Amino acid sequence: MEFDTQAWSVRPSQRRVDKLQALIRSLNGENQASARVLTSVLGQMESMATLIPLGRVNKRPFQVALQSRWDQSVQDWNFQIPLGTWFLKTTRAWLLPALFQGVPIVCPQPEKELFTDASLSGWGAHLDGQMVSGVWDSTQSSLHINLLELEAVSLALRAFRSSLEGRHVRIHTDNTTVASYVNKQGGTRSPSLSDKACLILTWCNSHCILLSAIYLKGSLNVLADSLSRGDKVVHSEWTLSHQSLDRLWLQIDKPVIDLFATRFSARLPLFVSPFPDPLAWKVNALEISWTNLTAYAFPPFCLLGRVLRRVDLEKPVLVLVAPLWPSQHWFPDLLRLAVRPPIPLAVKKGDLVQPRSGVPHENPRLLSLHAWILSEALCLRQGPLRLL
């Protein structure tokens, strides 16, 4: 490798570049080559892929073409593979000096966090409090969900282009395949996904956008998820109306922090968002300290076990909205941590709604929602809780 300590970049040594280009040029005049020689070409490309911009993007066409012509499980290393137009097209970029510009020695920290999601009906994304969404046409909605997730990334990048140019952008997606295909600059299992990922990365490179991706659990990617579904119900996203909570605050002291909320679902002056939001007090309730905290929480039911473990460990005073479901694995912990009998919430239709659309739950009484006052503070405890 060659290091430029003024530009703080690194690139393959000229000797390695010359060796690969000489091998490619020597094969351009041949009618065929052994699998051993062609895999050597591929190996040299891969050895430099992380040292040049879009190294794997430019390697993928040759890799895919070689795999379609040689099956290692059936044919040996001396198997002769015909060369021709396919070889010229897939290696042409590796003969251009501009390909070997080099990359930063240390990857810069992300400057923008872009959250995306797709459903079979549409897509959504948000960045710095700005939101964008759309619906698929009949042709798009028939595509595989992984391809729709990548298309959502592409549309979001174009929608926010003016805010993203010249920056390191990190995509937050609840699809592990999308994160992998972006970070690895394509892949070999799905040609359509690989092609789409490479098109996205090429577009980003042309707009001076450095792109990376990280997996975000669907339970935390709530706003992008709701944006992608339009006015459809998101089963993990319900919030209580202000009227129903006002009835609760008449019986107990009102906290000031809503631990699991977005700007649309927050019911208290301060809220903790699952994603960066300039209006939020903190980000990701499961990653901040709950010690000495007095708060309200109405988390997705799938998170109740984790919420109770945090209460047990850090001993906050928490007003938790949760169903009275004795058969659930987390219910014994809920009883143990409660300092008084739960308060039934007389939730009528219209009191439990989707945060953005306002779509009401069809039958909220089925959930048997109660307000539980949780604390490990011994001064508040009057013996173990028993339900009559």
More confident residue, 358 or 211: 211
CA angle 358, 363, 369 (to 5 degrees): 90
Token pair listed for 82: 């015909």
Residue pair 200/150 in contact by the 8 Å Cβ criterion: yes
Residue 199 to residue 205: CA distance in whole angstroms: 10
Give the list of residues 6+ apart from residue 380 with CB closer than 8 angstroms, or none: 317, 339
| Chain center to CA of 78 | 43
Candidates 65, 361, 124; CA nearest to 237 is: 361
Candidates 132, 153, 137, 161; CA nearest to 227 is: 132
Q: What is the pLDDT of residues 153-207, one digit of tens each?
A: 999 999 999 999 999 999 999 999 999 999 999 998 899 999 999 999 999 999 9
Strands 9-11 and 2-4: antiparallel
Residue 247 to residue 158: CA distance in whole angstroms: 46
How many residues are given for the chain? 388
pLDDT at residue 12, rounded to an integer: 95
Full DSSP string of 124-176: EEEETTEEEEEE--TTGGGS-HHHHHHHHHHHHHHHTHHHHTTSEEEEEES-H
Full DSSP string of 3-44: EETTTTEEE--HHHHHHHHHHHHHHHT-SEEEHHHHHHHHHH
Q: Specify the fold of 239-380.
A: Rossmann fold (3.40.50)
Token pair listed for 204: 């980003």
Residue 150 to residue 184: CA distance in whole angstroms: 14
Q: What is the pLDDT of residues 235-292, one digit of tens each?
A: 567 889 888 899 999 988 899 899 999 888 899 989 998 877 788 899 889 999 999 8
Q: What is the pLDDT of residues 64-99, one digit of tens each?
A: 999 999 998 899 999 999 998 999 999 999 999 989
Domain coordinates in residue numbering, the chain: 2-104, 112-215, 239-380
Candidates 92, 26, 31, 35; CA nearest to 67 is: 35
pLDDT at residue 279, rounded to an integer: 85
pLDDT at residue 350, rounded to an integer: 86
pLDDT at residue 311, rounded to an integer: 94
Residue 335 to residue 381: CA distance in whole angstroms: 12
Average pLDDT, the chain: 89
Phi, psi of 38 (to 5 degrees): -70, -35
Answer whether residue 386 shows pLDDT above 80.
Answer: no
Task: Compute CA distances 122 → 148, 182, 250, 361, whole Å.
Answer: 9, 21, 41, 22
Q: Does domain 112-215 have CATH number 3.40.50.880?
A: no
Q: Is residue 232 very low, low, confident or very high in pLDDT (cuts 50, 70, 90)? A: low
Amino acid at 350: G
Answer whether residue 380 shows pLDDT above 50.
Answer: no
Identical fold at 112-215 and 239-380? no
Answer whether residue 382 shows pLDDT above 70.
Answer: no
More confident residue, 383 or 109: 109
pLDDT at residue 9, rounded to an integer: 92
pLDDT at residue 29, rounded to an integer: 83
Residue 49 to residue 185: CA distance in whole angstroms: 10
Answer whether residue 110 shows pLDDT above 80.
Answer: yes
Token pair listed for 194: 């690989």
Q: What is the pLDDT of residues 308-354, one digit of tens each?
A: 999 999 999 999 999 999 999 999 999 999 988 999 998 888 889 88
DSSP state of 284: -
Token pair listed for 9: 């970049």
pLDDT at residue 264, rounded to an integer: 84
